[in-house]
Every structure is written in C-alpha cells, then in structure tokens.
C-alpha cells in the first residue's frame, strides 16, 4: 500500500493543526488568476499558468495533512462565454497538467476524479482525463476532484434527470424521495460532506458552485489571488475552521 509522502517543507504550520478535527472535504473557488496577471502587466493566460502551480501546491498540502477530498472549481458551465483564446489556453493547460502531473499524483497516492458535464469538453481533454483517472484510481490518499464544465444548478438538473429516469423505470417511487436519496444522484454523492469552502481573490459570492452541498459548509474568504495562494494560506484556513462552532441549525456546537 502506498503512503502519503509528506513534503519536508511543510514547516511549523502543520504542527499547529489538530489532525483529529480536520475538515474531511475542502472545496476551493480558485479565483483571481486574471487579476493577478494583469496586476503585473501580464496576459491572463500567464495567471492561469501560475494558477496551476497553486493547484499543485495545495494538492500536496491537503494530502500531507490528511484531508480526504479536495474539490477545485476549474471551469464552470458559464466560463464558455470567455474569449475563445482563453478557453483554448485553459484546456491546453489542463491537458499539460494531466500529462505532466499524473506520475507525481501517483507518487503522492492521490486519486484524481472529475465532476461536471465532461462529455461536452474537447475530446482530447476527455481522453487525458480518462487516462489520468484510470492511472490513479487505486490510490488511497487524497481525492482530488476537479470540477470542469460544472455548475451547481446544472448538477442539480442532471441529478433530477437521472432520478426521473429511475422513477420511470420503477426503480424508485416518488414518495420515497428524501434528501439522502436525492443526494445520491449528485456528482458528489460518494464524497464526504463539504466542510470548508475557500474562495480566493476577495470576491464574496458562490458563483454557482456546489449549491446543494454547501448548506452547512463553513466559508473562508481571502483577498489573496489564487496564483499567490500557498500552503501557509491553506493551513491558516484549516486553523480558522477549527475555531468555528458548527451547530447545523441547532444550539449545540458539534
Ligand atoms: C478564476 O480566475 C480561474 C479560473 C476560471 C480557472 C481556474 C483554472 C486553473 C487554476 C487552471 C486549471 C486547473 C487545474 C485543476 C489543472 P479568473 O480567470 O476568473 O480571474 P479574474 O477573476 O481575476 O479574472
């Protein structure tokens, strides 16, 4: 069995985190690539390139500390409205990332997954994704779940559609539907609850991400642009999470 290989540069931060009270599933809206680049007079695509470096850093940081699942919002169903050159640039970067990083993910025992309307992505991207998912499928460390051509609303609609098919096929009756049953039809059905949502770049919105899943998620916002977001910022978010009192609508902190 592979073990997670802790980065020696993890530093003192990792020691200050209570490993018994970690969020099981952290989701991140990786925002600010464009502004990070523009603030330095660089083209937006350089920001996305730098954003990939942060993806690598934060995947390692999450795996090192023992987070079970990390969901990254990489491309939304609304992002198709961006200039074609930026979309092509993003897809090319994604393919490069998969090709170059799959071995490193494997060494780190990270299991890659994707969610979203993958069948609408360019064929080459679909092919690279399938290959990388297959190569890392047996890994038992962090689940790195990349949201691609994803939106919370689209995922709910797709879940409703799958549920309707099952009702039509007689596999489930309408009066048997409850929250747990419905959740089973979402893309995140086999992942732990999203305990912590991080958004970078100072924006304070959800942007159609994980709408069902974040009902009781703790939110941590930072003005730091995604390309500048590093291990220390990530661990700060975990430390802050551990100070929160989660009551889930009740009066007692759990
Ligand atoms: C938001 O910044 C970022 C995106 C829409 C793309 C995120 C993609 C990556 C980090 C690279 C690919 C990811 C993986 C998982 C390999 P923005 O462009 O909206 O920035 P802005 O708000 O400053 O314009």
Q: CB-based contacts of 112: which residues, under 8 Å, 6+ apart?
A: 102, 105, 132, 133, 136, 144, 146
Q: How far is the CA of 38 from the centre of ligand 1 (A)?
A: 13
Q: For residue 202, is it within any domain?
A: yes
Residue pair 180/63 in contact (Cβ under 8 Å)? The answer is no
Number of domains in the chain: 1
Taking each helix axis from N to C end, the angle separating 84-107 and 44-65, rounded to the nearest 10 degrees, works out to 30
pLDDT, tens digit (0-9, with 9 covering 90-100), for 133-149? 999 999 999 999 999 99
pLDDT in tens, 169-189: 999 999 999 999 999 999 999
pLDDT for 10: 57
Nearest residue CA, atom 15 of ligand 1?
A: 74
pLDDT beneath 70: ranges in the chain:
1-11
Residue 111: closest CA among 138, 79, 147, 78? 138
Contact between residue 50 and residue 219 where contact means Cβ atoms under 8 Å apart: no
Q: Ligand 1 site: residues with CB under 6 angstroms?
A: 30-35, 48, 51-52, 55, 72, 74, 79, 93-94, 97, 146, 201
Predicted confidence at residue 5, as pLDDT, reads: 53
Is position 206 within any domain? yes
231 is in an annotated binding site: no
186 belongs to a structural domain: no
69-76 and 111-115 beta bridge pairing: unpaired
Output the CA–CA distances (angstroms, integers) from residue 217 to 28, 54, 152, in the order listed: 12, 23, 15
Task: Supply the residue whose CA is at minimum distance from atom 7 of ligand 1.
Answer: 74
- pLDDT number for residue 23: 98
Quick check: is 162 in a domain?
no
Among 30, 45, 52, 86, name the best residue to mutate to test ligand 1's pocket (greatest count of ligand atoms within 8 A of Cβ).
Answer: 30
Is residue 127 included in any domain, yes or no?
A: yes
- Least Cα distance to 150 among 218, 216, 68, 206 occurs for 206
Q: Would you say 9 is a known binding-site residue?
A: no
Q: Which of 48, 72, 204 to mutate to test the pocket of ligand 1 (most atoms within 8 A of CB)?
A: 48
- 157, burial (CB in 10 Å: exposed 0-12, middle 13-18, buried 19+): exposed
Look up the CATH number of the domain holding residue 34.
Answer: 3.40.1180.10
Query: Relative to the CA of 79, which ligand 1 atom is closest?
Result: 5
Domain membership flag for residue 50: yes
Q: Which domain holds residue 80?
A: 2-6+20-151+192-243
C-alpha distance from residue 28 to each of 32, 40, 196 (Å)? 12, 24, 8
Residue 28: the pLDDT is 99
Main-chain phi, psi angles of 163, to 5 degrees: -65, -40
- The sheet that has 111-115: what strands, in order across it? 111-115, 143-150, 69-76, 25-29, 196-199, 218-221
**Position 204 in a domain:** yes
Q: Is residue 156 part of a domain?
A: no
Burial class (CB in 10 A: 0-12, 13-18, 19+), 66: middle
Is residue 36 classed as helix, strand or coil in its secondary structure? Answer: helix
Q: Whose CA is nearest to atom 8 of ligand 1?
A: 74
């Amino acid at each position: 069995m592979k073990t997670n290989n802790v980065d020696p540069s993890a530093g003192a931060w990792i020691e200050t985190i209570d490993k018994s009270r970690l969020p099981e599933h952290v989701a991140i809206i990786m925002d600010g690539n464009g502004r990070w680049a523009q603030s330095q007079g660089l083209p937006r695509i350089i920001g996305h390139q730098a954003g990939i470096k942060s993806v690598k850093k934060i995947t390692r940081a999450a795996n090192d500390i023992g987070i079970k699942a990390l969901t990254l919002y990489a491309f939304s169903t609304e992002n198709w409205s961006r200039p074609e050159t930026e979309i092509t640039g993003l897809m090319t970067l994604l393919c490069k990332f998969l090709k170059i990083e799959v071995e490193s993910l494997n060494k780190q025992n990270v299991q890659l997954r994707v969610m979203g309307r993958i069948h609408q992505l360019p064929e080459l991207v679909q092919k690279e994704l399938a290959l990388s998912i297959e190569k890392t499928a047996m890994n038992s460390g962090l689940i790195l779940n990349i949201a691609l051509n994803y939106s919370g609303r689209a995922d709910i609609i797709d879940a409703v559609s799958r549920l309707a098919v099952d009702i039509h096929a007689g596999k489930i009756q309408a009066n048997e539907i409850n929250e747990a049953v419905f959740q089973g039809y979402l893309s995140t059905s086999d992942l732990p609850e999203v305990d912590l949502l991080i958004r970078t770049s100072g924006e304070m919105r959800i942007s159609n991400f994980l709408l069902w899943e974040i009902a009781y998620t703790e939110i941590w916002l930072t003005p730091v642009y995604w390309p500048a977001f590093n291990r220390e910022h990530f661990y700060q978010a975990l430390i802050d999470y551990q100070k929160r009192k989660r009551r889930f609508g009740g009066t007692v902190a759990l």
